[in-house]
Structures are given as structure tokens and as C-alpha cells.
Amino acid sequence: MSSIFGNIFKVSTWGESHGAGVGVVVDGCPAGLGLCEEDIQRMLDRRKPGSSAFTTQRSEADKIEILSGVFGGLTTGTPISLLVRNKDHHSSDYQNLAEQYRPGHADYCFDRKYGFRDWRGGGRSSGRETIGRVASGAIAEKLLSLFGICFLTYVDRIGDIEISADAFDEAEINRNPLCMPDRVAADAASDYLKRLMQEGDSSGSRVVCRVSGLPAGLGEPVFGKLDALLGQAVFSIGAVKGLEIGDGFAVSSMRGSDNNDGFFMENGEVKKLTNHSGGVLGGISDGSELILRAAFKPTPSIFREQKTVDRDGNNVTMNIAGRHDPVIGPRAAVVVESMTALVLADLLLENAVCRVSNLQKIYD
């Protein structure tokens, strides 16, 4: 199950940082969805390296190729195989990784688990692993868009710099390389990151993903709840250490009378007076905006001397070379969005067959 995700809309990702390439097979995408490489490339470009001062200078076009499952511009219902070739390897930058365990990375754990590891550029635990997620997430998002489901994803915190609710400007997200919907905050974060880079250090960050247009009813009690699958999806992304749905940790201090969202009727539709729940009640979408927030730890690859051990069990001092982002959130935002889209596409399909009356709409 390790690299396969989803119950009906299933993705199977593969690939290492410095291998021949990375990719994904999508099995279970319904037939008849319009799909071309540009649909996927657009999402991939949001995580592409080399696009700003704050991303690794590794130069990869990350050009996607659709190998199967699409005919005449439409998905056929058969598996869609997507491939991105790796180009710009600098494995020699990582030579000492073969012997030493980088703090904050999975090196030690992979060795203990498997007995050895592909150490080149982090191997399977590299950020390049997320290409398969984003490529398949793009297909999920295309499917969801047919039903009016839209995503809004951004960075709301880098270090101690948070966006201001008052200054929120959606259009700004794509204008700054940090994906922050607040120009002032983005500028401050930019200055902060430059300082950290000079010190060879890195910063933590936080990503928000909001989804509108969701019908009520998505999510399968008990273990396939919408929030449960988001829990798996988001925590499966490297460097995530926390996840909140709706009011998140703030609820632990709240009273029921404050936290409950009352219902009311508006134009014949059920609405909520507030949205503390973040769009999920009892694990099922409640028709209001889905809101989740993920905490990313600082990039563990820092350019400072660190204490660690080597494979032979010696205490050593280590220096990391290579090309690394000083912050993870801005490039990871599209990964959070992709994982959310994969969950929602899967639940959209599962929910469609949860009632006899739905089957009757199809078979009668």
C-alpha cells in the first residue's frame, strides 16, 4: 500500500530524485474526462524548481508525458500513466550522504528499515517524489472542476510572519514567489528568508487549502471520513508536522456554545451561521467551505555544521552540499492542494454509489 492511494480513484506513484524519472499511474479515473498534457503541466509548474531565489536551482523542465489512458482528448477509463524524466542530477553533491545520516531527514530510518538506501539526492524521500502526486492531483482537480469544485491554496505563515486577514488579496498569491495572499507579509517573509539563507538556515511555514463548491455528503463513515482521508493525505507529504480542519487546535479551549455552527434556511437551502467546523461534520462534507491548514517544518537541509553519526556508528560532524529551498511551504502548497483533490475525487466517486436511488438513476 505504500505508494498507492485511494479506493476507487487510485494513484500509484514511483520514482527517485536521481533515477531515470518520476511518475504515477492513475487507475479508476472515469471515462470521458477531457484531458491533455497542458492540464497537468500547469499544476506541475507551480512546484517546479528554479523559478525563484527561494527554490533550489536544480534545473528541471519537469515536462509531463501522458503514456496511456487518453484517446481523442478524453480519458478512456483505463489507467493513465504519467512520466517525467529526470535531467539535472548532481549526484556528486550528495556523495557524503552515502555514509552520513542528515539530521531531520529519513536517511537513518531508510537504512534501518531496508538495510541500505538509494542515497542520491534523497532517493525516494526527495521532494521530487511529489511530482507524481501533483500530476495525478491535476487530473482529480480537472474532474472536480466539472462539478463546480474550486481550490484556493496559499502560504499563511513563514517563521513569525503571518498574513493579515484584512490585507487578504487572492490575486497576490500568484504574484509573489512565496504564494502569500498579502503583499506586505510576502515582502517581510522574503527579507526574513534572505537573512536565513545568508546564515545557511531555513524556516518553517504553514499552508492553507480551501475548497468551495463541495456538495454536502462527501466522506464515508467511519474510517473513510473526509477529514480522516485528508489526515492521511496531508501527513503523507514530507515535512508536515501538523494538520487542522476548521478551527483546529483552537477548539480545545472553546465552549460548545461557541463552537457549534447553527443551521438556517436561505433561498431554500440549508446554510450555516458560522463555519468553525471547516466544512466537515461527522466526517462528511456539510456544504460549506472546506478549510485545512498544514504546518511544514523548516527545510532540514541547512548549510551549517551539524552533529550526526555515520553508517559505521561513529559520531561525526557533517556539512550538506546540494541545492535546497530555504522554506518548504511555497512549493508544497500545490502538493497539499493535489492531495486534497485526490481525496475529494475519490470520495465523489464513493459517495455516488452510497444510495440505491443513485444506482437507479444510472441503471434504470
**Residue 331 binds a copy of itself, judged by CB under 8 A:** no
Give dist(CA 288, CA 101) in Å, integer: 45
Subset of residues 223 to 282 that bind a copy of itself, contact rule: CB under 8 A: 223-225, 227-236, 238, 240-265, 268, 270, 273, 276-278, 281-282
Residue with smaller CB distance to a copy of itself, 13 or 190 = 13
Subset of residues 122 to 161 that bind a copy of itself, contact rule: CB under 8 A: 123-125, 129, 143, 146-147, 157-160
**Residue 340 binds a copy of itself, judged by CB under 8 A:** no
C-alpha distances in Å from residue 247, one per residue of 87, 237, 292: 43, 21, 9
- Bridge partners of 309, per DSSP, are 315
Supply the minimum distance, in Å, between the C-beta of residue 62 and a copy of itself.
15
- Cell 465523489 identifies what position? 348
**Residue 118 binds a copy of itself, judged by CB under 8 A:** yes
Supply the minimum distance, in Å, between the C-beta of residue 285 and a copy of itself.
7
**Residue 94 binds a copy of itself, judged by CB under 8 A:** no
Subset of residues 170 to 209 that bind a copy of itself, contact rule: CB under 8 A: 196, 201-206
Subset of residues 41 to 80 that bind a copy of itself, contact rule: CB under 8 A: 65-69, 71-72, 74-80
Supply the minimum distance, in Å, between the C-beta of residue 168 and a copy of itself.
18
> With helix as H, strand as E and coil as C, how does 72-83 read?
CCEECCCCEEEE
Provide the 8-state DSSP code for 299.
P
**Residue 212 binds a copy of itself, judged by CB under 8 A:** no
> Which range touches a copy of itself (CB under 8 A), out of 46-54, 117-125, 172-180, 183-191?
117-125
Give dist(CA 10, CA 346) in Å, integer: 8
b or e along 266-300 (b: 16 or more beta carbons within 10 Å of the residue's beta carbon)? eeeeeebeebbbbbbbebbbbbbbbbbbbbbbbbb
C-alpha distances in Å from residue 243, one per residue of 143, 165, 208, 247, 340: 25, 20, 10, 11, 12
